[in-house]
Structure 1
Amino acid sequence: MKKLILPLLVIGLSSCSDDKIERPDNFLNFKTNQVGLSGESSVVDLQLTQAHDEEIQIQINFLGNGVEYGKHFTTEPSGTGNALHLTIPKGNAGTSFKIIPIAGVLFKGTETIDFTLSTVSSPIIVGSTKNLKLTFSSIISEGSQMTLESKTSESNYTNNVYVDFSANTTHLSGRKDWNLGFTNDQNFRVILNHSLQTTAAATTQTDITKVSLADTATTPDIYISTARITDPNTTSLVDSWDGDLNKTVFAEVSATENKVYLVAFEGKNSPKTSWYKVKVERSGNGYKVQYAPIGDNNIKTVEIPKNQNTTLSYLSFDKGQVNNVEPTTWDIQYGYSTYDSGMKTPYWFQDFILLNYLGGAEAAEISNISYENYTETHIASTTFLKTRDAIGSKWRITTGANAGIVKDKFYIIKDPDGNYYKLRILSFGVGSGERGKPVIEYKLVKKG
C-alpha cells in the first residue's frame, strides 16, 4: 500500500501546481541612484514594477557622511534612528520622501547621504536599484527614466511638474496655486497663469476703486467660451504662447502710470461678476499689486519684491504672495497650458512641455537621426530654440489613427548650466501608459 500511495500523492501535487496562477515578480527600486540637493529640498521617488493590491511597508536605512540627522537635515516623513519607514498605499505603484536641509546650515558641497532600500513586505522584491546617494550640491546626472506625477485623484493635470535633468529631480506645483507671475530680472513684466485658463484685458481706468461691472461694457469679453475658440480676437486676451515677454496682455509696468486690468480664470471666468480687477505698479525694485473682485472695493494690496533665486515671483488672489511654485533650478515643466488651437487662437492643452527659456534653457527637435545614434558630434549642426513652446505638444497626437507618441521625434535640451541632454517620452496615456503620468527618458550628451 505504501508504494501505491506515494505516486498518487506526487500526481496530486503536480496537478495542483499546474493549476496555480503564476504572477510576475514585482520589484521595488529607487527611480535613480543619485540625486543632488542645491535648493530648499529634494524629493526621492521609489517605484514598483506594477501597482500592488495590498499595502506595502518599506524600510530605508541611511548613513550621513559629514551630516547628521536633525542637526544638518531632516526628512519628510520623519526618520527614526537611521531609518525611514514608508508605506505604499493599496493600489499605488510607488511612493516618495523628501530631504530637507536645516535652515541656516552652511554646506561645503562634499556632504552626502547614502540611502539603502533595506526591507519591503512580501511578496514585493527589492530591485537592483536599491542604493541612492544624495549629494549636498549640484550633480551632473548621466541620465535616467522618470515618471512625472501630474495626475492626482483631482484630475489628470493637477500638478505642474518641473524637471531638473542634471540633478535627477522633480518638483510638483499645483497649477491652481497662482494667478499672476512677475519677472525678477531688470524688467518689470507680468504674466498670466497659462495653466489656469487665464485671460485678461486692460480697462481705460488707472484708479482701481473706480472700476466696476460697468467697465466690462467698454473692454473685450475676456471669457473664452468653447463657441469662441475660432474667434481671432481672443488671441489678444492671452499671453503669447511662445513666451515672448513683449507680447503679454499686461503692458510693461511703468514707473509713472498704469492701467487697471480685468482678469478671468478657470472657475472665475463666467459670469462677469466673477472677474477680478488688478492694478500693478512699481515699488522700488519690486511690484505693488492691488486687486479685488470686480464688484468689491475692499482692495487688497500686496508688495512683491524681486527674488534673484527664481525667474518669476508669484501672486495668488486667495493667498497673496506664494513661494515654492518653481524650484531654483529646472529645465522643463510638464502639465496643462494655454496654446495654439491650430487656428491661431488660444486653447487649453494637456501634456504640454514648457522650456525654462527665461532661465537660459534651449531646445531642439530632432527627427533626422535616431535617439540612440545622436551624440556630441551632432550638437554643432543642431539648431536650438529659446522659446517657451520649443517642445510644447509637438511630440504627441491624441486622436485619430496615429494617436500616441510621435516616434520619429526626440529633443535635445541645453540646460541653463550648458549641459546637453537628449529627451524622449516613452508613454503618456494614449497608446500606452497612464494619462497625467508620462514616463520620460533622458541621457547626458555633453557636460557643460
Structure 2
Amino acid sequence: MNKISTISLMLLSFIFALTGCQEEEPDAPININFNSSSININEENQEAQIGLVFSRASNQAGNISVNIDNSNLVYGEENDFYTEPPAEGGELILNYESGQSEINFTIKAGSGLNIDSDEIIDFSINPTEVLQRGQNSSLTVAFSENFIAESGTIEMTAGGAEFTEQAFVDLSKVRTNSLDKNTWDLGFSTDNGFHVILNSTAQVMARPLDKTDLASVTAEDTVGFAAVMQIGFTATPPAAAWIDVPNGDLTKTAIAPIATTDADNKVYIIKRLGEGRSWKKVKITQNGDGYTIAYANIGSNDIETSEITKSESHNFIHFDLDNGTTDFEPNKESWDFMYGTFTEKFPFGPNEIPYSFNDFIIINRHNTSAAMVMVERNTTYADFNLQQIGEVSFNNEINAIGSSWRQGGGPSSAPAVFDDRFFIVKDSQENYYKIRFISMYDENNERGTTTFEFEILK
C-alpha cells in the first residue's frame, strides 16, 4: 500500500469516527394552537367543542395545561358553565398519547347560568418543554345575555311569615329578587294612556272626593273615612270601589284615568298601612307625555309636587308619597311573575269586599299569559309538551294564577299546594314554561317561602 492510500484510509476513518460520535439532532418543539379564537354560547348553542391542534404529531405521551379566566361566571355544572373533562382550580389538564396531533374538550352552559349582559371567559395554553404556544394560544368564549334556561327549581321568599316583601321571578334566567313591598304607593302607567295604580300588595286604597282643588281639602272632608276604608272582614261593600280591579284592567282602577283637562281630575284620599305612613291627599294631572302629582298630608297646605316621566323599559313608574320616585318593579322584560300578597275582591254575601291574600301570584302584564292544566290520566306534568299547547286556554289577566295553585286550609287543615294541577306560563319572549309548585313553607314550616320547579316546553 502506498503512502497516499494510507493517508486516505486514515482520513476516512477519522471522518467516520467523528460522524459516528455526533448526537442526533433533537426534534423541534411542537407548536400548539386553538382551532378558533372565539366561540359563542347562547340559547341555540349551549355547548361547543374546542380543539387544540399540534404543528406535528407528538412522538411521546404527555399533557397540556389550560388556564381558565372565568371573570364573573362561576364554574360548575349547576352554576354558569363547566367543561368535559372537568377543570379544577381554574386549570384544565388534557392528556394526549404518542402520535396524537389534536386534543378536544367541551364547554357547556351550566343549569344555573344567570346573566344580565354578555359575559366572556378566556382559555390560555401553558407552555411546556415539549409544547410551545403558537400564535393562536388563547380563546375567548362569549356567553350571550339572551341565554334561556331550560329547567330549574326556584325558591321564592316574600319576607317570611309577615309577608313584608314581593319576590319577582325570571324563569329564563333562573332568578328571583325580593323587594320591600312598602316602598311605593302609586304606580304611573307608561303605556299610551294615563293611568295610575295602587300598591295592592300593601293594601293601599284611594277614595275620590267631590273636589278638584287640593288646597281646599281639609280633615273635615274625611270624617268617618277610617271606619269604612277597610280591607278584610271588617270592610263594607262600598270599600270594593276604593281598590283597583284585581285583574289589572287599567280602565277600572280606583283612581280614574287622568283627564286632559285639569278641572276633570278629582282629589283622592290615599290610605296607607304601616307605622309613620300617614294618609295623604293627592291630585294628579297630565303633563305633556307624563304626569304631575301634587300631594300633602290631609290637614296640611304644605303641598309638594313632582313630575313623572314615562319610561319604555318599565310597566310603571313607582312613587312613594314620602320619598318620591322609587325603583321597585324590574325592567318589564326581566321578570315573569311576582309572589307575595295582593288585594282581591272577595265574595261576601251578595256583595264583594276587598281582602288581602297571602301566597298570591301576579303575572307580568307585559306580553305574559298563564294557563292552568289539571292532571288527568293522559295529561301529566312530566309528559306535557309543546305540541299540547293548543289544548289549554291562556289568560293574560294579572291574577291568572293568583291563589289557584294552593288551598287555603281550614280549622283542621293547614294551607297546602294542590297536587292535581300545574301551570303553563308564556313569557314576553314567547317561551312556554310548565310550572309545578312543590312547597309553600320554609325549613321552619313557616309560610312566606314557596318552591316550584319549571321546564321549558319543546
What TM-score do the two structures reach when normalised by structure 1?
0.67
The answer to whether the 8 Å contact 1:341/1:347 transfers is yes
Cα displacement (A) at 1:325: 3.1
Q: 2:426 aligns with which of 410, 414, 426?
A: 414
- Relative to structure 1, is the Cα distance of residues 65 and 245 closer, same or farther in structure 2, using a 3 angstrom cutoff? closer
> Partner residue of 1:185?
191
Does 1:290 pair with 2:294? yes
Q: 1:397 aligns with which of 407, 411, 429?
A: 407
> Partner residue of 1:173?
179
- Relative to structure 1, is the Cα distance of residues 405 and 309 closer, same or farther in structure 2, using a 3 angstrom cutoff? same
Does 1:266 pair with 2:303? no
- Paired residues, number: 328
> Partner residue of 1:197?
203
The answer to whether the 8 Å contact 1:264/1:276 transfers is yes
- Relative to structure 1, is the Cα distance of residues 381 and 435 closer, same or farther in structure 2, using a 3 angstrom cutoff? same
The answer to whether the 8 Å contact 1:355/1:391 transfers is yes
- Relative to structure 1, is the Cα distance of residues 242 and 354 closer, same or farther in structure 2, using a 3 angstrom cutoff? same
Cα displacement (A) at 1:267: 2.5
The answer to whether the 8 Å contact 1:194/1:338 transfers is yes
Cα displacement (A) at 1:341: 2.9
Find the aligned partners of 1:392 and 1:414 in 2 and give their Cα distance.
16
> What is the DSSP-based 3-state SS (H/G/I as helix, E as strand, rest coil) of the residue aligned with 2:256?
coil
- Relative to structure 1, is the Cα distance of residues 237 and 265 closer, same or farther in structure 2, using a 3 angstrom cutoff? same
> Partner residue of 1:370?
380
Find the aligned partners of 2:285 and 2:431 in 1 and give their Cα distance.
38
Cα displacement (A) at 1:135: 4.0
Instruction: State, as a whole percentage, how many aligned pairs show the same letter.
Output: 31
Does 1:305 pair with 2:305? no
Find the aligned partners of 2:314 and 2:283 in 1 and give their Cα distance.
23
Q: What value does the CA root-mean-square deviation take over the aligned residues?
A: 3.1
Does 1:381 pair with 2:391? yes
Find the aligned partners of 2:338 and 2:120 in 1 and give their Cα distance.
27
- Relative to structure 1, is the Cα distance of residues 294 and 157 closer, same or farther in structure 2, using a 3 angstrom cutoff? same
Structure 1 gaps of 5+ residues are: 1-33, 37-60, 67-81, 84-97, 102-108, 115-132
Find the aligned partners of 2:115 and 2:272 in 1 and give their Cα distance.
34
Could you list the structure 1 runs, at least 4 aligned residues long, displaced by more than 6 angstroms after superposition. Answer: 98-101
> Partner residue of 1:442?
454
> What is the DSSP-based 3-state SS (H/G/I as helix, E as strand, rest coil) of the residue aligned with 2:307?
strand
Structure 2 gaps of 5+ residues are: 1-40, 44-67, 74-88, 91-113, 123-140
Cα displacement (A) at 1:197: 0.8
Bigger mean CA offset, 394-403 vs 278-287:
394-403
Cα displacement (A) at 1:340: 3.1
The answer to whether the 8 Å contact 1:353/1:391 transfers is yes
> Partner residue of 2:258?
253
Q: Which amino acid in 2 is paired with 1:418?
A: E
- Relative to structure 1, is the Cα distance of residues 376 and 223 closer, same or farther in structure 2, using a 3 angstrom cutoff? same
The answer to whether the 8 Å contact 1:404/1:430 transfers is no
Does 1:326 pair with 2:334? no
- Relative to structure 1, is the Cα distance of residues 267 and 434 closer, same or farther in structure 2, using a 3 angstrom cutoff? closer
The answer to whether the 8 Å contact 2:157/2:165 transfers is yes
**1:248-286 CA-partner distances (Å, limit 9, x unpaired):** 01110011131110010212799xxx4210111111111
The answer to whether the 8 Å contact 1:148/1:437 transfers is yes
**1:318-340 CA-partner distances (Å, limit 9, x unpaired):** 11001243334211100111113
- Relative to structure 1, is the Cα distance of residues 136 and 156 closer, same or farther in structure 2, using a 3 angstrom cutoff? farther
The answer to whether the 8 Å contact 1:364/1:411 transfers is yes
**1:381-436 CA-partner distances (Å, limit 9, x unpaired):** 21100101100011112323474111101110000110000111110129995421
Q: 1:147 aligns with which of 145, 150, 155?
A: 155
Does 1:63 pair with 2:70? yes
The answer to whether the 8 Å contact 1:141/1:168 transfers is yes
The answer to whether the 8 Å contact 1:113/1:134 transfers is yes
Q: Which amino acid in 2 is paired with 1:149?
A: T
**1:220-259 CA-partner distances (Å, limit 9, x unpaired):** 9652065533x22221111011111111011100111311
Find the aligned partners of 2:296 and 2:155 in 1 and give their Cα distance.
39
> What is the DSSP-based 3-state SS (H/G/I as helix, E as strand, rest coil) of the residue aligned with 1:195?
coil
> Partner residue of 2:280?
276
Instruction: From the CA coordinates, give the structure whose radius of gyration is larger.
Output: 2
What TM-score do the two structures reach when normalised by structure 2?
0.65
The answer to whether the 8 Å contact 1:150/1:335 transfers is yes
> Partner residue of 1:345?
353
Find the aligned partners of 2:443 and 2:173 in 1 and give their Cα distance.
30
Cα displacement (A) at 1:192: 0.4
After superposition, where does 1:30-41 map in structure 2 within 5 Å?
A: none
Find the aligned partners of 2:406 and 2:42 in 1 and give their Cα distance.
29
The answer to whether the 8 Å contact 2:166/2:181 transfers is yes
- Relative to structure 1, is the Cα distance of residues 221 and 434 closer, same or farther in structure 2, using a 3 angstrom cutoff? closer
The answer to whether the 8 Å contact 1:201/1:222 transfers is no
> What is the DSSP-based 3-state SS (H/G/I as helix, E as strand, rest coil) of the residue aligned with 1:421?
strand
**1:174-209 CA-partner distances (Å, limit 9, x unpaired):** 100100001101010000001111111111111111
